[in-house]
Chain A
Amino acid sequence: MPYHTFKCSECLPDRQKHAVIKGPGEDITSCLPLGNLNTIPGTITERGCAYCGAKHVIGTPMKDVIHMSHGPVGCTYDTWMTKRYISDNDNFQLKYTYATDMKEKHIVFGAEKVLKQNIHEAFDAFPNIKRMTLYQTCSSALIGDDMDAIAKQVMKERPDVDIFVCNAPGFGGTSQTGGHHKINIAWINNKVGTFEPEIKSKYTINYVGDYNIQGDCEIMTDFFQRMGIQVLSSFTGNGSYDDLRSMHKADLNVLECARSAEYICNELRVRYGTPRLDIDGFGFDLLAESLMKVAMFFGDDCVAKAKEIIDEEVARWKPELDWYAKRLKGKKICLWPGGSKLWHWAHVIEEEMGVKVVSVYSKFGHQGDFEKGIARCGEGALAIDDPNELEALEAMYELKPDCILTGMRPGEVAKKIRIPYLNIHAYHNGPYKGFEGWVRLARDLYNAIYSPVMNLAAIDISKDDFDTDTGFKTRTMLSDPGTPREELHTEHMYTGKMDIVTHLRGKTYEFPAPDKPVTDAV
């Protein structure tokens, strides 16, 4: 049996099929953990709620919008300033958040009136913002406020505003994933098709399932635009509300995170016939392949441009990636993200950085994510669904990884047992997409693993014999002990700038003219 039983979970029969080890010659037909099932209470799960999946993951990266939650203040506060989804409009969506501040009297008598007052107040406070997303919470769902009706009333009273309502209360699903689904479907049902875009290029896409963490999305849309493709919308990183209403007009949906955003792509295919193309923005080979796939959809001129970009980027950054890969070779990592990175990265990080992925986990992934992830994993990899605190600790003791790639709080658990972590939700020094971004990830991984401070942490000064000859250690003294300086080729350590995103803003692109005018001028 490929199922792996953690010692700490032997007492939980319901956990027995949530972890597997990919044995010799095994594939996903024989080793697939369960996924997306109700959580066992009391396990100290790392999962969040459906509200956060809808609001925090997908809704709030939209940049020109008042994001309001209808409920007590906590849901709003807790999901505010905990993720780095930046934007090119001075981060309005990061800076401001809105709660209707539901109190006991509202629970008893209903909160529709106060909701309406809130919406007006918010638009009054920010007269330049005319768009709003409105999120249900556990409280407003349970008392049954009709948020759609209130939104309609306000839109009638203020004809220049538009409001999107998302009914994804915290309890609505096994985890964040319930909210991803609900907001995808609500958006296509209510907003797609209600705005006509200006078509500037012969080639148009929606870039779907990227949330612009530290600028990932802006890196990718720069590539697409350099290829002559107009990005009609980005769902939802750095995304504009009205652009996202015009998703129906794109020629192609380019899908990145198929966990959180495949639903809208599938619906766009059914309702508007727009094809879906899944890509990977991470890793040299996968990214190059992805850019080529997108280009080939459109034609030769696009392909030529894509090739030019790939050649130029690879020539510029490959030596630096290789410098790190040489030193990361054989290092063991646990790839413990939320969902999609487990299959986006499982294979390519081994191929291109030389590390060994000894474990993958997913907080809210479905079996489909494990299919993709385990298929891309090497032999012996431990895959865990809905991990919990004790299982993660047991895995770390057993597998002795050199670094775990996860979120901040689990990272603090790892730190205490002297395992460095890399934040792959909010990133350390991202963006990590793009060719340069991938080098930045390798750099951050190298910096984490060869940390002189972590090197000190193992020494017990009361018992151990330790080196007293040197006042410092550099990273290369740890990664390449004894190697003469000239053989280190330190010129190939990352040479990019700290901020590689801001300079992309305001850049202009040339697009091939559209074949025929698509919109009628009024």
Chain B
Amino acid sequence: MSCEIKAKERAGIINPMYTCQPAGAQYASIGVEDCTAIVHGGQGCVMFVRLLFSQHLNENFDIASSSLHEDAAVLGAVHRIEGAVDVLLMRYPHVKVIPIITTCSTEIIGDDVEGVIRKLNKGLLKEKYADREVHLIPVHTPSFKGSQVTGYDVAVKAFLQHFAEKTEPNGKINLITGWVNPGDVTELKHLLRMMDVDATVLFEIENFDSPLMPDGSAVSHGSTTIEDMKGTANAIGTIALNKYEGGKAAEYLKEKFQVPAIIGPTPIGVRNTDTFLKNVSKMTGKPIPEALVRERGKAIDALQDLTHMFFADKRVAIFGHPDLVIGLAEFCLDLEMKPVLLLLGDDNPTYVKDPRLLAIQEHAEFDMEVITNADIFELEDRIKNKGLELDLILGHSKGRWVSIDNDIPMLRVGFPVFDRAGYYRHPTVGYNGAIWLAEEMANVIFNDMEKKKDREWLLAMW
């Protein structure tokens, strides 16, 4: 029985799992109120990312481009930032926060983003927009480093670095959620409400799931405010749920303002949710209430109906964001399943030392592999050419063909999900997330058993 943690052997990417850094920074930016980012690069770096968000959330989000054309790519493009800031401020009177998100092209040509921001602060903003509060924030996300995951991490830190300001203690905790769905934020806020804990949720993206109102007034946007971000320096503590998506910001607040930080665990499954609540309780001194014991009981009751009867020994492959994959793998182990293949999709050298992965490695009761810097072809190749047998795949929609072509049931989870309706609405975290995940996993397996005539009588008589 062994668990190998290693990097993909091929140099290239066949069917990528993640996109590049600027996309992650853009996802963070839409979580902030009165914020429209300017992506400093070619127009595709924005157009496609906006489409991607829209594929996943069925909503539109405004992000601007500095529209790099050939002349600017050759001669330098900082004037495109100056133009973009002015145009954006003129036409969008509500905009207060403008992150300037760099890309591969503008990092290679070496545009001085900090310099142009200083120039704008002293010049344009003073002269033309003196009565407006405007924050220009450099976010360096060259596409040739990291991935969307690090891009998100870098942007969260950049926001807090700009805003966090020590004043009076505010009695709140900072909850840095990582790259999650609106349904997750709803669930996290629910847990905190039950705990009677006041929290600054970064980012408050429940409104990504917005209504269609009779007066046509609804707009999808995050609602984390400037005040929220300023106040993060005055919190009792920070809990960052995902190590790789927001962990950097938690460490920053700890080093700079001595705000205690707890990083992880991603509260996927009952056990990690327990730990999360315990951490909240320790940090705030608030007890875990009876009502959550009951809620937890409902989750355990639901899982107990499924685990040893249906889930036990089912072989699962999981791909997606690192914290999500690790959290799901831990949950699968609790459910008596065998997560035989985990795919983490960028070249972050710290994955191989992640204590959660090392713990899984230490206790593996079956042969499993953890591949870093992976692409989706790593999964397909093992199924098609190396005899990997699977009962279930957990991953996002870009891997749909692996499931379809190899006739392996797959539960869509993570980002993006565009070939199933409304998944952003459901939580994967908390006790309700545990119920949703387990029951949906069971349902895709049940559907598959019926389709393949695999003991479908078993389903009718339980």
Determine if chain A interacts with chain B. yes
Are B84 and A409 in contact (CB-based, < 8 A)? Answer: no
Please determine whether A71 and B104 come into contact, CB atoms closer than 8 angstroms.
yes
In the complex, how many residues of chain A place their beta carbon closer than 8 angstroms to a beta carbon of chain B?
Answer: 80
Contact indicator A412/B42 (Cβ below 8 Å): no
Chain A residues near B62 (CB-CB < 8 A) = 44, 389
Which of B42, B52, B147, B215 is the one whose CB lies under 8 Å from A138? B42
The answer to whether B216 and A417 have CB atoms under 8 Å apart is yes
- B70–A409 touching, CB < 8 Å: no
Contact in complex: A416, B218 (CB < 8 Å) = yes
CB < 8 Å: which of B22, B109, B347 contacts A142?
B109
- The docked-state distance in angstroms from the alpha carbon of A40 to that of B38 is 13
For residue B453, CB closer than 8 A to chain A, the reply is no
Contact flags B28-41 to A (C-beta < 8 A → 1, else 0) = 00000000101001
When C-beta atoms are compared, the residue in chain B nearest to A41 turns out to be B84
Q: B91 touches which one: A8, A39, A52 (CB < 8 A)?
A: A8
Please judge, given known A-B contacts A42-B88, A171-B72, whether A98 and B12 are in contact too, CB under 8 Å. Answer: yes
Shortest distance from the beta carbon of B277 to any chain A beta carbon, whole Å: 36
Nearest to B419 among chain A residues (CB) is A81
Contact yes or no, A42 B69, CB < 8 A:
no
User: Is B398's CB under 8 angstroms from A80's CB?
Assistant: yes
Asked if A459 CB lies within 8 Å of chain B CBs, one says yes
Task: Check if B90 sits within 8 Å of A76, measured CB to CB.
Answer: no
A52 touches B84 (CB 8 A): no
Residues of A within 8 A of B51 (CB): 78, 82, 407-409
A77 to B18, CA, bound (A): 7
Given A12, A139, A172, which contacts B87 in the complex, CB threshold below 8 Å?
Answer: A12
Judged by a CB distance under 8 angstroms, whether A58 is at the interface is: no
Assess A412 versus B59: contact at CB under 8 Å? Given A122-B12, A460-B214. yes
Q: Does B279 contact A (CB under 8 A)?
A: no
Q: Which of B391-428 contact A (CB under 8 A)?
A: 397-398, 401, 405, 418
B41 cross-chain contacts in A, Cβ below 8 A: 138, 170
Option from B43, B71, B73 in Cβ contact (under 8 Å) with A39: B43
B contact residues around A103 at 8 Å (CB): 144-145, 347
- Among B50, B58, B144, max chain A CB count under 10 A is at B144
Contact A139 B104 (CB under 8 A): yes
Chain A nearest Cβ from B217, distance in angstroms: 8
CA distance A357 to B436 in the complex (A): 46
Q: Is B86 an interface residue (CB 8 A)?
A: yes
A104 lies within 8 A of chain B by Cβ: yes
Asked if A409 meets B214 with Cβ closer than 8 Å, knowing A78-B48, A138-B41, the reply is: no
Q: Are the C-beta atoms of A409 and B54 separated by less than 8 Å?
A: yes
Q: Which residue of B lies closest to A409 (CB)?
A: B54
Residues 117-145 of A, flagged 1 when their CB comes within 8 A of B and 0 if not, give: 11001100100000000000111011100
- Minimum CB–CB distance from A465 to chain B (whole Å) comes to 13
Contact of A48 among B14, B43, B70, B401 (CB under 8 A): B43
A21 beta carbon closer than 8 Å to chain B: no
Interface residue B55 (Cβ < 8 Å from any Cβ of A) = yes
Alpha-carbon gap, A75 to B86, bound state (A) = 28
Binary interface profile of B, 178-214, with partner A (CB < 8 Å = 1, else 0)?
A: 0000000000000000000000000000000010111
In the complex, whether B16 has a CB less than 8 A from a CB of chain A is yes
User: Closest B-chain residue to A117, C-beta based?
Assistant: B11
Mark contacts of B216-227 with chain A using CB atoms, 8 A cut-off: 1 yes-contact digit, 0 otherwise: 101110000000
Can you list, as one digit per residue, whether each of A446-458 has a CB less than 8 Å from chain B (1) or not (0)?
A: 0000000000011
Contact A44 B64 (CB under 8 A): yes
Q: Which of B44, B67, B92 contacts A38 (CB 8 A)?
A: B67
**Nearest-neighbor residue (CB-CB) of A82 within chain B:** B51
C-alpha gap A79/B43 in the complex (Å): 13
In the assembled complex, the CB of B230 is this many whole angstroms from the nearest CB of chain A, namely: 26
Complex interface residues of chain B between 75 and 93 (CB less than 8 A to chain A): 80-81, 83-88, 90-92
Q: Is the Cβ of A82 less than 8 Å from the Cβ of B55? A: yes
Smallest distance from the beta carbon of A40 to chain B beta carbons, Å? 6
From the candidates B23, B58, B70, B90, name the one contacting A172 in the complex (CB within 8 A).
B70
CA distance A41 to B447 in the complex (A): 50
B40 to chain A, nearest CB (A): 9
- Measured between beta carbons, the chain A residues less than 8 angstroms from B240 are none
A75 touching B44, Cβ below 8 Å:
yes
Given contacts A77-B16, A81-B398, is CB(A47)–CB(B347) below 8 Å? no
Cα A173 to Cα B347 in complex, Å, equals 32
For the complex, give the distance between the alpha carbons of A94 and B347 in Å: 26
Query: Does chain A have a CB within 8 A of B390?
Result: no
CB of A48 within 8 A of CB of B44, answer: yes
A514 part of interface (Cβ distance < 8 Å)? no
If A48-B43, A72-B144, A415-B212 touch, does A38 touch B16 (CB 8 Å cutoff)? no
For residue B381, which residues in chain A have a CB less than 8 angstroms away from its CB? Answer: 125
In the complex, the answer to whether B143 meets A96 with C-beta atoms within 8 Å is: no
Q: Which of B15, B68, B69, B144 contacts A139 (CB 8 A)?
A: B144
Size of interface on B: residues with Cβ below 8 Å to A: 81
For A411-445 the 0/1 string (1 means CB < 8 A from B) is 01101111000000000000000000000000000
Contact pick for A49, options B43, B143, B215, CB 8 Å: B43
> Would you call A40 and B67 a contact (CB within 8 A)?
yes
**CB of B20 within 8 Å of the partner chain:** yes
- The reply to whether the CB of B458 lies closer than 8 angstroms to some CB of chain A is no
**Are B91 and A82 touching (Cβ within 8 A)?**
no
Asked if A102 is an interface residue, CB under 8 A from chain B, the answer is: yes
CA distance A41 to B66 in the complex (A): 4
B335 located at the interface, meaning its Cβ lies under 8 Å from any Cβ of chain A in the complex? no
Say whether B64 contacts A42, CB under 8 Å: yes
Interface residues of A in 60-97 (CB under 8 A from B): 68, 71-82, 95-97
- Return chain A residues, CB-CB under 8 Å to B47: 46-49, 52
CB closest residue in chain B, given A76: B16
Q: Is B124 an interface residue (CB 8 A)?
A: no
The smallest beta-carbon distance between A103 and chain B, in angstroms, is 5
Query: Which chain A residue shows the least CB distance to B49?
Result: A78
Judged by a CB distance under 8 angstroms, whether A378 is at the interface is: no
Chain B residues near A41: list those with CB within 8 A. 38, 64-67, 80-81, 83-84, 87
> In the complex, what residues of B have CB within 8 A of residue A418's CB?
212, 214, 216
B-side contacts of A149, CB under 8 Å: none
Residues of B within 8 A of A415 (CB): 212
A117 vs B50: C-alpha distance in the bound complex, in angstroms?
Answer: 32
Contact of A102 among B144, B210, B212 (CB under 8 A): B144
Determine the chain B residues whose CB is within 8 A of the CB of A190 once the complex forms: none
Q: Does residue A106 face the partner (Cβ distance < 8 Å to B)?
A: yes
- Docked complex: B1-31 residues within 8 A CB-CB of A: 10-16, 18-23
A100 in contact with B12 (CB, 8 Å)? yes
Which residue of chain B has the shortest Cβ distance to A75 in the bound complex? Answer: B44
Interface string of A382-393 (1 = CB under 8 A from B): 000000011000
| Given known contacts A81-B398, A459-B214, A170 and B144 CB-to-CB distance under 8 angstroms | no
A-B contacts, 23 listed (Cβ < 8 Å): A39-B67, A40-B87, A41-B84, A42-B85, A43-B91, A46-B47, A68-B12, A74-B20, A77-B398, A81-B418, A99-B13, A107-B108, A125-B381, A138-B42, A138-B73, A139-B143, A142-B105, A142-B108, A170-B44, A390-B92, A408-B55, A457-B212, A459-B214
A78-B23, A97-B14, A107-B108 are known; give 10 further A-B pairs, CB within 8 A. Answer: A41-B84, A76-B16, A79-B44, A98-B13, A114-B11, A125-B377, A138-B108, A139-B144, A142-B108, A169-B42
